[in-house]
Structure 1
Amino acid sequence: MADKKPPPKVMPMWVNFVLGGMAGMMSICVVQPADLVKTRMQLLGPGEKGKSFIDITGDIVKKDGILGLYTGLSAALFRQATYTTGRLGCFNALMDFYKVKYGNPSFPIKLLMGMAAGGVGAFVGTPAEVALIRMTADGRLPPEQRRNYTNVFNALARISREEGVTTLWRGAVATVTRAMVVNGAQLGSYAQAREMLLDTFGEGIALHFVSSMIAGFITTVASLPVDIIKTRVQYSAKGTSQVQVLMSIIQKEGVLALWSGLMPTYLKIGPMTVLTFIFLEQLNGIYYKYF
């Protein structure tokens, strides 16, 4: 009788969360400037629509210097420590659990796991998302209207004190919706691109890189309208619904405004996808090697 195949090695659940958060935080340090420019583009008024990605980048550097491109980095890192920790931690923990109980999951099961993990992570990370939007957008306001948060914890404390704790979850429905769209699009398109390009590139970094960039573009196109609506809801001084924001954008700015900031969003999501998974694979390798 043949020996049974040993069960796959499984990380403790808490390690999945820690390594997922670390990978996200390492990645955001690289792509934060693109995320900042994307947010500024999404908040442009009707009279500013002629400004390009390069124009806005130049304005930021001229006004605040090179370091101005990292405005809101503390909030971005805190968002990764919450959202990405929850998203990747949940997904990897679910994958490990399923493999031990039932074997390798099918693609639809992976898709459902990714969407569920994205929704959980997004809800946990919404306060950091609100702080990030406020901090990255602050520089475009007149000096007398700026909130001038000093860091993410100052932003969270002041928002809670001045506007109420529930404001930290403003746009939570939009954030969760976007996260589920992003995770679904990333998983589906990455798996398909990887399968189609495997014979061309072979297994390795090149395959992962190209597949991730394709997945990033598809994810950007699919999720950007939801992202823009989420940004406007979270940035608003008083609560407003997703439907109201959507109708306002279409009526005042046109349907194509829903894809405003397409290039900087892709410049963030594409490399962010690549870097996050490369960093995560390396961290996983270190864990399995030494622990």
Structure 2
Amino acid sequence: MAESRTQSFYNITPFQQIISSCTGALITSVFVTPLDVVKIRLQAQQKAKLSNKCFLYCNGFVEELCCNFHAGGSSAVSSPYWYRPPGHLTGTLDAFVKITRAEGVTSLWSGLPPTLLMAVPATVVYFTMYDQLRQLVLKKYHFDHQPLWLPAVAGGMARAIAATLISPLELVRTKMQSQKLSYLEIRQALKNLVLTQGLHSMWRGLGPTILRDVPFSSLYWLSYEFLKQKFHQQQPTFWFSFGAGATAGSFAALLTLPFDVVKTHRQIELGEMEALYSKQRTSTYSLLRNLYQSSGYRALFTGVVPRIVKVAPACAIMISSYEYSKRFFHNYNNSRTLYNSL
């Protein structure tokens, strides 16, 4: 039994794990960013409807009509102009068409630079830590087989650490994807946010992010490892990893979507006057309750189609490329060991 337990791991170094995770992260980020933009636009539209406000766009801020922004005691509003969104978005396909027509095809990759900056450190920490924690527990307690609670716990812990590290980049990415903004406007909004609420405000939306990502990761790894055990795939093939990753990701994404909606609502407040000067923060529970009271369960699952359409292939690409790369390095290390022994 000890033999089968050790064979479930690839004989690779932590550095090779890092390279394996980076490959999948870069491919996945480029592929799924347009789907993320559509999902966030749909959720941002929902937030604007709930707030029942008319917005004015000026100097990098989305402000209430007729509001005045003051910095250092003097008015900072100059040359205001209307921000005209692509129009009412009725669904995923409609959002793709209207955003492309109003803002150009490149707007579908809004926030790609911070997404890429997030993908590498987040994925490295997440996947490497997950594998290391799982192996550590199995080796320390000498389990005959992997208990299903172990991937759930290891996945949740790894995601909590990774999400905390990249939360400021997630804030910038979400705001950039919620509407068409320049980097200068984002920078100005961040500057005023930090000046008025402190450095900790850069972690706005971390609570809902943790509530979304930790259960997602626990459910995802639990489902994925269950499928591996069910079909006896200790070292899974590329296509098995692809299918199992898509299935596990879709299941986890659906169950955790309400927290994704709340996280988006929190983070697109960046630059809004109400968010800058509000002394009280609405709790996650209150936001969920308000969403439910406004439109029922449907409001809690806004953007469900683009999220699942995004998450399923993202998880499939990420885990299959990760497993394939690990298998490549495993075979490479074994061939080197055999060559050196001759």
Q: 2:103 aligned with 1:61, yes or no?
A: no
Deviations 1:220-253 (A, max 9, x none): 2111001111111111232543123222212223
Asked if 2 retains the 8 angstrom alpha-carbon contact of 1:233 and 1:245, the reply is: no
Match of 1:25 in 2: 26
Q: Which has the larger radius of gyration?
A: 2
Match of 1:219 in 2: 252
Conserved? CA contact 1:178–1:227, under 8 Å: yes
1:37 aligns with 2:67: no
Offset, 1:195: 5.0
| Cα shift at 1:166 | 1.8
- Which range moves more in the overlay, 43-52 or 105-114? 43-52
**In 2, are the aligned partners of 1:193 and 1:214 still within 8 Å (CA)?**
no
TM-score using structure 1 length:
0.83
- 245-254 or 265-274, which deviates more: 245-254
Match of 1:134 among 175, 183, 206: 175
Match of 1:258 among 300, 311, 315: 300
Q: State the SS of the aligned residue for 2:153.
A: helix
1:95 to 97, 113, 134: 134
- How many percent of aligned residue pairs carry the same amino acid? 20
8 Å CA contact 1:83, 1:121 repeated in 2? yes
Using CA pairs below 8 Å that are at least 6 residues apart, which structure has the higher relative contact order? 2
Shift of 1:59: 1.0
Given that residues 34 and 268 in structure 1 are in contact (C-alpha distance below 8 angstroms), is that contact kept between their aligned partners in structure 2?
yes
Q: Deviations over 1:23-72 (max 9, x none)?
A: 22221111111111111111123498761101110011102222221111
Long gaps (5+) in structure 2 = 51-86, 276-280, 334-342
C-alpha spacing 1:6/1:278, structure 2 compared with 1 (3 Å): closer
Question: Are 1:170 and 2:200 an aligned pair?
Answer: no
Looking at structure 2, the residues matched to 250 and 235 of structure 1 have their Cα atoms a distance apart, in angstroms, of 20
1:283 alignment partner in structure 2: 325
- For 1:62 and 1:193, the matched residues in 2 are separated by 42
Q: Which residue of 2 aligns with 1:84?
A: 123
State the one-letter code of the partner of 1:54.
L
1:16 and 2:17 matched: yes
1:162 Cα deviation after fit: 1.9
Q: Quick one: structure 1 residues 208 and 290, their matched pair in 2 at CA, closer, same or farther if it must change by over 3 Å?
A: closer
CA separation in 1, counterparts of 2:139 and 2:189?
Answer: 44
Q: Aligned equivalents of 2:96 and 2:190: distance in 1?
A: 31
- The corresponding residue for 1:143 is none
2:340 match: none
Structure number with higher helix proportion: 1
Change over 3 Å in CA distance of 1:189–1:96 after alignment to 2 = closer
**Structure 1 97/38 Cα, relative in aligned 2: closer, same or farther at 3 Å?**
same
> Is the partner of 1:106 in helix, strand or coil?
coil
CA distance in 2, matches of 1:205, 1:288: 15
**Distance (Å, rounded) in 2 between the aligned partners of 1:18 and 1:125:** 19
8 Å CA contact 2:24–2:319 kept in 1: the answer is yes
Shift of 1:131: 0.9
- Give the drift of 1:86: 1.9
CA, structure 1 residues 207+9, in 2 after alignment: closer, same or farther (shift >3 Å)?
closer
Structure 1: gaps (5+ residues): 140-145
Secondary structure of the residue aligned to 1:131 is helix
Out of 241, 245, 264, the position equivalent to 2:283 is 241
CA separation in 2, counterparts of 1:215 and 1:118? 16
Cα drift, residue 101 of structure 1: 3.1
- What is aligned with 2:191? 161
Letter in 1 for 2:172: A
Distance 1:50 1:59 in 2: 8
